[in-house]
């Protein structure tokens, strides 16, 4: 069976608003799974399937209009995923 390669995006989110950011991502049709990079960090990973990955930049842009400080930092290789 061929594995599905996800795409991983790194997003900067104010620490005290990560819960709200996660709820907004879930409410947007769960286009990605949110995972924090490390405890007390303002960086989170958005793990998306190849089918939903193209929508991630627009989704983050829309959310950033409502949550100040949200910024898409870029895409990282799945091998670089460091969830602490």
In-domain check, residue 58: yes
For residue 63, what are the domain limits? Answer: 7-77
In-domain check, residue 1: no
Q: What is the pLDDT of residues 14-45, one digit of tens each?
A: 999 999 999 999 888 889 999 887 888 899 99
**Can you give the pTM of this predicted structure?**
0.85
pLDDT of residue 83: 57
Q: How far apart are CA 39 and CA 60, in angstroms?
A: 21
Helices 18-27 and 56-64, packing angle to 10 deg: 130
State in Å, rounded, how far the first CA of the chain is from the last one.
29
The domain total for the chain is 1
In-domain check, residue 25: yes
Q: CATH number of the domain at 70, please.
A: 3.30.70
Q: What is the pLDDT of residues 43-72, one digit of tens each?
A: 999 999 888 999 999 999 999 999 999 999
* CA distances to 1, 66, 70, 79 from 26, in Å: 29, 15, 16, 24
In-domain check, residue 43: yes
């Amino acid at each position: 069976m061929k594995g599905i390669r996800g795409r991983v995006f790194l997003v900067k989110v104010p620490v005290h608003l990560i819960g709200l950011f996660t709820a907004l991502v879930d409410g947007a049709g769960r286009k990605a799974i949110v995972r924090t990079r490390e405890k007390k960090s303002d960086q989170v990973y958005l793990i998306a399937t190849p089918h939903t990955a193209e929508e991630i930049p627009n989704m983050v842009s829309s959310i950033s209009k409502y949550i100040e400080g949200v910024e898409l930092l870029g895409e990282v290789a799945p091998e670089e995923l460091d969830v602490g």
